[in-house]
Structure 1
Amino acid sequence: MADASQVQVKQPGSTGPSGQQWMPIPQGIQGVPRGLEYLTQIDQVLMHQQIELFEALTNIETKNRYALKNSLGQQVYFAFEESDFCERICCGQFRSFVMHIVDNANQEVIRLVRPFQCCAGCCWCADKDICSYRISVESPPGTVIGTIRQRGSKWKPMYEICDVNDQPTLKIRGPCCACQMICCTGDVDFQIMGMDGVTEVGKISKQWGGFFREVITQADNFSCTFPMDLDVKMKANIIGATFLIDYMFFENKDNNS
């Protein structure tokens, strides 16, 4: 894959059904990266993966696309994946990718970069960087504002959200039982905690989408909630964490089945 800084943003095409209402463009706020002004006004993001009919019919992995909405159903962002065809076919959910997130003016405001790591994913040894899945968050594109990395644990999936200085700021703790993520017919929650491990700051939920959506397709629904007054860069990092969790646990259609 080309270096993320060299990837050209392409037109994402249709951003949803005809007549989709977009969240109004807020005025610029000093100290807030352009495009993140939306996040100052919301405490929840709903993430809906677009159903790819070709993928459902052929089982050939296609590039993912997502509509990101606020709690009123207004679209805030549109996200589309940039990845290598061979990696999608051979590596599936473990592939590297660049996720471009654009606003309603089709301007890229957030970029997520996930590197390829062939020996990562085991929660027992994820404290070593070579064994830890991670994703970096850039806003504006080219400027890293945070990193989400998998951490070592015995039973529960664990992550750290690190700030621009690579200092851990928040923790994410997943459900204890892996079967809950693979076989559950209800919502699956990942708690966002303070560094004390006690204070709950927010939540990332994989929402049950119904039998057809879960079994026939890989199109997942997520919600992430956080305090309204949380720093917008940290909100963007939580959105990045949601994508990492989706690819690690829910992208594989066999898991959804």
Structure 2
Amino acid sequence: SRVDRHLLKFCACCALFLFAATRKAFSFNLASFEEVTQEASWPLKLDQIIIHQQVELLEAILGTETSSKYEIKNHLGQRVYFAVEENGCFDRQLCSPIRSFTIRIVDNTGREVIRVIRPLRCNSCWFPCFLQELEVQSPPGTIAGYVVQNWDPFLPKFTIQNQSKEDVLKVIGPCATCGCFDDVDFEVKALNEMTTIGKISKYWSGFVNNIFTNTANFGIQVPVDLDVRIKAVMIGACFLIDLMFFENSLDGL
């Protein structure tokens, strides 16, 4: 009948509209995903990376140190990676800020793309012979670079190295890292320590969050054309800075 034909045309139009809308949305999401990934799922074109540590209920209620979990997002707030810390309960409870760990970073398909390895080392400027050193692999099994702590009696200093242990960048923090009611910036500098090319920022997360949990929010800003392997190392540097300076910090006070 005529009514049936009109109803059929209406349904066909609705189906075409939904298909076009879905295709447009899929194309947008795919483009956003391709913007931050390549074959090895490295953050190819990113100049800003956001790292959000998830709140653990057991840690918030009992104060028990749990394995850290992080969401790694692009500048639009879209999650591109998920990171999970692996270590023993003994390490977390007794060696909290200097504990050894392996952090596995996976993409949205569950494939591991970056591995961060931190051995148990000293965390004091008074023992400069055994300072922090962190290895970043991307993809896992292939060294992307290292983060090496430099001795300094006043400022937190680190050197970013490539896979051949050649110095590439410096990361220099402030004298005081408590960050009461404010962000804390670690500047990313050239090797001469004069030119600033980016920063790692620890964002203040609020009074309640900072007092009752160890969760933190970080932002990494680097040149968009920086080597993708060094960008992966910068993510590792962010994890190291979190553990060293903000794991037991009362920066909400």
* TM-score class, shorter: 0.7 to 0.9
Q: Which residue of 2 aligns with 1:220?
A: 216
**1:57-96 deviation line (CA, Å, top 9, x unaligned):** 1111110000011111111110000011111111112110
Which of the numbers 49, 61, 73 marks the counterpart of 1:45? Answer: 49
Extract unaligned runs of 5+ from structure 2.
1-28
Q: 1:64 to 1:28 in 2, by over 3 A?
A: closer
- Is the 8 Å Cα contact of residues 178 and 249 (structure 2) preserved in structure 1? no
**1:196-255 deviation line (CA, Å, top 9, x unaligned):** 111111100000011111111111000000001111001111111000000000011556
Count of aligned positions: 224
Q: 1:72 to 1:183 in 2, by over 3 A?
A: closer
Q: How does 1:35-74 map to 2 (within 5 A)?
A: 35-36=41-42, 39-74=43-78
Q: Which residue of 1 aligns with 2:94?
A: 90
Q: Which residue of 2 aligns with 1:247?
A: 243
Extract unaligned runs of 5+ from structure 1.
1-20
Q: Which residue of 2 aligns with 1:238?
A: 234
Q: Which residue of 1 aligns with 2:203?
A: 207
Q: RMSD in angstroms over aligned alpha carbons?
A: 1.9
- Structure having the larger proportion of residues in helix: 2
* % same residue: 41
1:137 alignment partner, SS class = strand
Q: How does 1:4-153 map to 2 (within 5 A)?
A: 23-25=32-34, 34-36=40-42, 39-117=43-121, 120-126=122-128, 128=129, 130=130, 132-153=131-152
Q: Provide the rounded CA distance (Å) in 2 between the counterparts of 1:115 and 1:205.
A: 24
Q: Provide the rounded CA distance (Å) in 2 between the counterparts of 1:134 and 1:27.
A: 27
Q: Provide the rounded CA distance (Å) in 2 between the counterparts of 1:244 and 1:196.
A: 23
Deviation at 1:159, TM superposition (A): 0.4
Taking structure 1 as the reference length, the TM-score comes to 0.82
Q: Provide the rounded CA distance (Å) in 1 between the counterparts of 2:251 and 2:220.
A: 21
Deviation at 1:144, TM superposition (A): 1.1
- Is the 8 Å Cα contact of residues 218 and 256 (structure 1) preserved in structure 2? no
- Is the 8 Å Cα contact of residues 250 and 256 (structure 1) preserved in structure 2? no
1:41 alignment partner, SS class = coil
Specify the code of the residue in structure 1 equivalent to 2:105. I
Taking structure 2 as the reference length, the TM-score comes to 0.83
Deviation at 1:125, TM superposition (A): 4.4
- Is the 8 Å Cα contact of residues 180 and 251 (structure 2) preserved in structure 1? no
